[in-house]
Chain A
Amino acid sequence: MNRTIISIVIAISLSACSSLGVEPWEKDQLARADMALDSEKLDLALDDHIYFSKEGSSGGRSLAGGGCGCN
């Protein structure tokens, strides 16, 4: 049952996506370097490390991974 609902939701979401968006020649603003999802990748990496070390949850924006035993 749950799987059916999830499939329907995904299908609706994807079909909704197809009506969203812009033509390739309308992407001037979106192609700006400051609009990239990782435009401040070092800040994001440093922030992730701080919050990973100081809080009980992590990840979400990108893969959390392991690799730190820090306090």
Chain B
Amino acid sequence: MQLKNRPKISTALAIASCSLLGHSAQVQAGEEALDDWKVDAAIMYYGEEDRVQAVEAIGNVQKAFGDESLLDMKLVVDSLTGASASGAVAQAETQTFTRPSGDGQYQTAPGETPLDDTFHDTRVQASANWAEILSPVWKTNVGVNGSKEFDYFSLGLNAGVERSFNKDNTTLVLSGAYTLDNVDPVGGRPVALSSMVLRGDYDTEEEYRAAFDQTRMEGSEDKKTMDMMLSVTQVLSRRWLFQANYGLSSVSGYMTDPYKILSQVDDTGTTQGYLYENRPDSRLKHSFYMMTKGALDAGVVDFSYRYTTDDWDLNSHTLETHYRYYFSGRFYGQVHLRYYQQQAANFYRPFLMTGEPLPEYASADYRIGDMTSYTLGLKFGQRLSGGHEMSYRLEYYQQNPENNGFDLVGQLQDHDLFPEVKAIIAQVSYSF
């Protein structure tokens, strides 16, 4: 097939430069045929011990049009079930909670971390991206993406421009994106820091429903995200390249998690009630990312470091590496290590105290609290005939939430308020 449409030297060089910009498919296309399709597909299972289980299927199709244009389309379907931490603290007594919809209740056993088990959703996400080589040194791309789940809708546009310098050894990329999300939570949006009402406190269903409705707001709410990223990729030597990115993200709108609550406890650490959380409606985030990647004789290795900071004071450090070793021309093994550490958002608190004035913003969601996490992964890949490739990945992910300095009063000292979350990730991928 490749003999039919043998690329010219200039085309081959353009394609080679594209690979440095991060488009492996074009190299692939150069090796096979310029008008070939490239398909990558994977199915992944993510399972937490006693909590969320997810299955995610992803398919990516690339189609080159001539040697200057590339269409990239992606479809993701995922399904989530299981329980997620509600934000309430463990207690010595059985705890009863109203479901987010207001229909029914669920209970948490003494000593257990309250988990909302009503969590299940299916998400479909689709995206399309068009990349165009404008000249030997200029390249551009535009894209659109959308995703839909039961209580959430998102639509985004993105565009980027790339300029290479210095014999294609240096590449500057400037890209931007605008995303509009719409949240329409089950049971409506909770009134900020309003108290959860319980059916048992009311004589009739009507009285209960009227009280529940008082804690809810009608209609959906938007969230707008503007992203900008400046990226520099530099060839260091025949085998090593380096990338540095700066990202700026401005988010405005509804960022509260409508399903998260905080326990309000007295001096003995005993829960007196539950309040729906409230987060600020703006967030300005900065990210700094550095990565180096090396082509070894019998493998590939990369190391990266990321620092993020934002005006919620949530700062994080991430160290990550992948090391691949080719046992033969057709078979490789790969190790993945990741370490992540974050410092809590300034409005994070594991619980609220009765008698103290309510803060404007508060969340007990451990995901924005102090936390470290790590990932250990193994992957094996096999090249099959005809350029096909099959790979298998198995990873272990553990989160260790930590107390960011709150005094645990009374019975709270007897419970694990910051339990570890352990998850397994298993994935099978196929490319052709």
Contact = CB atoms under 8 A, between A and B. Distances in A.
A66 B397 CA distance: 23
Contact of B16 (A23, A27, A64): A27
B151 A69 contact: yes
Contacts, number: 223
Contacts of B180: 66
B114 to A, nearest CB: 14
B41 to A, nearest CB: 8
Contacts of A34: 295, 300, 324
A41 to B, nearest CB: 7
Interface string A40-60: 111101100111001111111
A37 to B, nearest CB: 4
Contacts of A45: 58, 74, 76
Nearest to A28: B238
Interface string B292-335: 01010000100010101010001110100010100000000000
B368 A56 contact: yes
Contacts of B165: 14, 17-18
Contacts of A69: 149, 151-152, 181, 183
Contact of B251 (A41, A51, A63, A66): A66
B40 A42 contact: yes
Interface string B340-351: 101001000000
Contact of A55 (B22, B315, B371): B371
A55 B169 contact: no
A62 B376 CA distance: 22
A64 B237 contact: no
Chain A, interface SS category = loop
Looking at A24, A26, A29, A40, the one whose CB has the most chain B CB atoms below 10 A away is A40
A10 to B, nearest CB: 9
A58 B306 CA distance: 10
A7 to B, nearest CB: 14
B40 A30 contact: no
Contacts of B223: 66
Given A69-B151, A69-B152, A71-B52, A61 B306 contact: yes
A20 B235 contact: yes
Given A46-B427, A66-B251, A18 B16 contact: no
B105 interface: no
A70 interface: yes
B259 A71 contact: yes
Contact of B310 (A21, A57, A60): A57
Range class of the A interface residue count: 35 or more
Contact of A23 (B27, B46, B167, B425): B167
B247 A30 contact: no
Interface stretch (B91-99, B117-125, B210-218, B263-271): B117-125
Contacts of B78: 49
A29 B19 CA distance: 11
B227 A65 contact: yes
Nearest to A40: B322
B177 A59 contact: no
B403 interface: no
Please list the 3 inter-chain residue pairs (A to B) with the smallest Cβ-Cβ separation, ordered nearest first: A21-B169, A36-B24, A67-B154
Given A37-B22, A60-B318, 15 more contacts: A18-B165, A21-B166, A21-B170, A21-B236, A27-B238, A36-B22, A46-B427, A51-B340, A54-B367, A54-B421, A56-B342, A60-B306, A63-B229, A67-B156, A71-B119
Interface of B: 13, 16, 19-24, 27-28, 40-42, 44, 46, 52, 56, 58, 60, 74, 76, 78, 80, 84, 119, 121, 123, 125, 145-147, 149, 151-152, 154, 156, 158, 165-170, 175-177, 179-181, 183, 223, 225, 227, 229, 232-239, 241, 243, 245, 247, 249, 251, 257, 259, 285, 287-289, 291, 293, 295, 300, 304, 306, 308, 310, 314-316, 318, 322, 324, 340, 342, 345, 367-369, 371, 373, 379, 393, 397, 399, 421, 425, 427, 429
